[in-house]
A and B are shown apart, each in its own frame.
Chain A
Amino acid sequence: MNLHATPSEEPLLRRIAKLERINAALMAHVERSMDQQGGAYSLFQTAIMLEGRVRARTEELTALMHSLERSNEALVAAKEEAETANRSKTRFLAAASHDLLQPLNAARLSASALADLPLGPEALAISGQVERGLQIIEDLIKTLLDISKLDAGVVRPVIKPIALPDLLSAVAASFAPLAARKGLRLRIRCPDLAVASDPMMLQRILRNLVSNAIRYTARGGVLIAARRRGPLCRIEVIDTGRGIAEAERDLVFEEFYRGGAPGEDGEPGLGLGLSIVTRMAQALDHPLALTSRPGHGTRMALSLPLCAGAPDAEIRPDPIATRLTGARILIVENDVAAAEALKRLLRNWDAEVEAYRDLGGVAAAMEAGTAAPDLLILDYHLDDGACGLDVATHLRERTGRVLPVIVTTADYAPEIGARAASVGAEIVHKPIKPAQLRSLLTYMLA
């Protein structure tokens, strides 16, 4: 073609030829780029592409890490919120339990006073049912309160040496009547061992286990057996009851879960026993194991450390009951119903009773010439934040005598116990149990 090109066309044709070659080189390169078999240059290119991809991935990961950090912060905040909520729930439960126990106290006192009245057999039976009903409500509230305290971690076990035979005997003795009523054998097998645990909590665990065993056993019996296992002691509560099916084994430890059928004695349990047992066992760090054969029985095993030291002998004063006739008792109680119930109860025991709402009432009565009492029953929490113990202080200053004092309260706070102990006062927790109060009064006035 060049042969026919005019001189003016020469550069153009040359340019076209160049561009064609450039184009061919580019096309070949593009095609090679698509090819797997790359040369050194394509290795370089691949390295950069990989570098870019690594960088993009790193940025992605960094972004992901930041977002995880953020969600982590959110989780920490949520956890704190939940913990706060949990604490306030515990406070609420404590307060609610207190408010529930107050009227319950009044109801129980009234029911007790009612039973002391001359009634027909039918009325007596009804009064007994009412008392039992109230007792169950009280147990339920206290157990709920205990569970919430255990959950909130405010219960600190006080570990001491415990003589195991004594403890097991006490537990068995309290269940002997129930077992006898159901025709069950209740036996203890316990060598002379001392264990390290919190006596109150351990007793509570064992009572719950034994109570459950008896409840779900129709024939045969319940064995409480302790044995040494290396450095540990293993306490087993073994029954010949209907057993727990595999599927139920985790459920029995949950709150308000009850076995398929009601207990053989017809009295349904609260379904809280085992859930509080597990919590206490956890708080004490005593492993609890369940083995069971449906139709044959259940074995609950608690492992706890043995103790080398000799346990203290427990001293339980056994008050002698005497009549309270003529004893002058002064009550200070801001709850009118509770004051009324207590007044009726004491009057049934032939005591002379005066009840006041607060220190002002007491002071006025003293001014008016009322005789000084023999004993004071003071509600700890009075209106407007006043404390019942102030009345004791006032009377001591006025009469120059230290009078015996019983402080009543539904509040289990340890500082109240400490305060009462510091002035030599006895504590009676609400709801007041008439028999306990009567024993205590007799003892204090003796």
Chain B
Amino acid sequence: MGQGTQMRTHLCGIVTAWTEAADAEDAVAEIAAAIGKPAQLVVFFSPDYPVEALNRALSERFPHADIAGCTMSGGISPAGGLERGLVVVAFPARGFRIVSALLDVIDDLDVERTASAVRALRRTLAPEGPEQPSGHRFALSLIDGLANAEETVVSAIAWALDGIPLVGGSAGDDLTFRDTVLLHGGAIHRNAAILLLVESDFPVQIFKSDNFEPTTTKFVVTASDDGRRIVHELNAEPAAREYAMAVGLDPERLSPMSFAAYPLAVKIGGEYFCRSIRHMNPDSSLSFFCAIDEGVVLTLAQPRDIVATTRAELARLDAALGGIDLVLGFECVLRRLDAESRQVRQGIDDLYRRYNVVGFDTYGEQYRAMHLNQTFTGIAIGRVVAP
């Protein structure tokens, strides 16, 4: 194994491997040397790898494996966070049954067609006989993070999943917002989503963790472009200016770091959900990582202790599962930025190490039928084989 390449074999048989190799072919070769012959690969990779070369290398090195993957804004490995590189989760054939499907043209999604495709996929997972107990199945979604379509996609998927818990992440591109890419079936996809259905011999549990609390400052979206997730005005003022005034920052210097430190949230059903700002546009409008709507009331929120809230959630899962084997996690890239600026990244890395978290930094997280921002979601796999 070359420099910067590591692997770990987990009790359930999943092998995780990650590398910071600069070259796509080298990266895949390093990983292939580490992990043998898996049945299914889920890969997360930096957008700076030439995606054609990477895809070709993966197909060549893993001719017998199904491969699903997406670009990321930083990786998560059981040794801590990665600035860039390639992260691979290799599922063995034994103990896991996995099927997957690609949904394309998601910015103009046919909900009925998508739902029936998902139902068909479900049937291939359990062609006959009674379904496994619910604690052993889950769905994973990887969605193009720049197609502005996650809400429609998860609604259609969750509708057809009929109770199978869904988690997932929106593909990132290191906060350049130029090109997010998916890999599935040996091909490269954009404006698409990948759905994997997994049935495991091991107990699994999905989770969602966030770390903010609302303040009393409120904004009303008074002008917006819903389809493109752009807010032009807040409180009948140019959006960036109104936001910057409220948080006490210079409107000219708003950055992802600012959006991470001062999140916005909506209150629905008695609970607050973050609606994260993706970037500021030249016309002082704000683009979001999620659906917005004119007339929506946004509440300014402030982060709480990210390490403590994450630790509490992972400890709860550890107890619930009787020991976590590994966690497939999707963490909002803004959380990473906020942890870095508060200099608590080390604490988060410690938790990744302790609970074997693997995954990537996202442009949005999927949890059941919801598309969320500024959360850490995922699926925890338990150590104990079900009786």
Q: Do A and B bind each other?
A: yes
Query: B-contacting residues of A (Cβ < 8 Å)?
Result: 17-19, 21-22, 24-30, 32, 39-52
Whether B296 pairs with A29 at a CB distance below 8 angstroms is yes
Contacts of B154 in A (CB 8 A): 47
Whether B370 pairs with A25 at a CB distance below 8 angstroms is no
Q: How far is the CB of A107 from chain B (nearest CB, A)?
A: 66
Contacts of B213 in A (CB 8 A): none
In the complex, chain B residues 106-150 whose Cβ is within 8 Å of any chain A Cβ: 148-149
The answer to whether B269 has its CB under 8 Å from any CB of chain A is yes
State whether A21 and B222 are in contact (beta carbons under 8 Å apart), knowing that A41-B151, A43-B151 are contacts in the complex. yes
> 1/0 per position for B226-244, CB-CB distance to A under 8 A?
1100000101110000000
Instruction: Give Cα distance in the complex from A27 to B222, angstroms.
Output: 11
Instruction: Give Cα distance in the complex from A52 to B268, angstroms.
Output: 10
Instruction: Give Cα distance in the complex from A21 to B233, angstroms.
Output: 10
State whether A41 and B369 are in contact (beta carbons under 8 Å apart), knowing that A21-B236, A47-B155, A48-B273 are contacts in the complex. no
Contacts of B294 in A (CB 8 A): 25, 28-29
State whether A22 and B235 are in contact (beta carbons under 8 Å apart), knowing that A27-B295, A29-B295, A41-B291 are contacts in the complex. yes
Whether A52 pairs with B293 at a CB distance below 8 angstroms is no
Contacts of B223 in A (CB 8 A): 25
Whether A48 pairs with B370 at a CB distance below 8 angstroms is yes
Instruction: Give Cα distance in the complex from A44 to B290, angstroms.
Output: 9
Whether A41 pairs with B220 at a CB distance below 8 angstroms is no
Among A32, A46, A48, contact of B293 (Cβ-Cβ < 8 Å): A32
Whether B226 pairs with A40 at a CB distance below 8 angstroms is yes
Contacts of B221 in A (CB 8 A): 25, 29
5 pairs of A and B residues whose beta carbons are closest in the complex: A29-B295, A40-B291, A41-B293, A47-B369, A21-B236
Instruction: Give Cα distance in the complex from A154 to B150, angstroms.
Output: 70
Contacts of A30 in B (CB 8 A): 295
Q: How far is the CB of B130 from chain A (nearest CB, A)?
A: 20
Whether A28 pairs with B155 at a CB distance below 8 angstroms is no
Whether A29 pairs with B293 at a CB distance below 8 angstroms is yes
Most chain A Cβ neighbours within 10 Å, of B152, B155, B158, B235? B155
Whether B269 pairs with A49 at a CB distance below 8 angstroms is yes
The answer to whether B271 has its CB under 8 Å from any CB of chain A is yes
Whether B292 pairs with A52 at a CB distance below 8 angstroms is no
Whether B222 pairs with A44 at a CB distance below 8 angstroms is no
Most chain A Cβ neighbours within 10 Å, of B237, B270, B295? B295
The answer to whether B368 has its CB under 8 Å from any CB of chain A is yes
Interface residues of B, count at CB 8 A:
34
Contacts of A28 in B (CB 8 A): 294-295
For residue B271, which residue of chain A has the nearest CB? A48
Known: A47-B154, A49-B268. 16 other contacts (CB 8 A): A25-B294, A25-B295, A26-B220, A40-B149, A40-B152, A40-B227, A41-B292, A41-B293, A44-B268, A47-B151, A47-B158, A47-B371, A48-B268, A48-B273, A51-B269, A52-B271
Instruction: Give Cα distance in the complex from A106 to B145, angstroms.
Output: 101
State whether A22 and B370 are in contact (beta carbons under 8 Å apart), knowing that A28-B295, A39-B291, A41-B226 are contacts in the complex. no
Among B233, B270, B371, contact of A44 (Cβ-Cβ < 8 Å): B371
Whether A41 pairs with B235 at a CB distance below 8 angstroms is no
Contacts of B271 in A (CB 8 A): 48, 52
For residue B222, which residue of chain A has the nearest CB? A25
Contacts of B220 in A (CB 8 A): 22, 25-26
Whether B295 pairs with A26 at a CB distance below 8 angstroms is yes
15 CB-based A-B contacts, threshold 8 Å:
A17-B236, A19-B236, A22-B222, A22-B236, A29-B295, A29-B296, A40-B227, A42-B293, A44-B151, A44-B371, A45-B268, A47-B154, A47-B158, A47-B371, A51-B269
Contacts of B296 in A (CB 8 A): 29, 41
State whether A39 and B226 are in contact (beta carbons under 8 Å apart), knowing that A47-B154, A47-B369 are contacts in the complex. yes
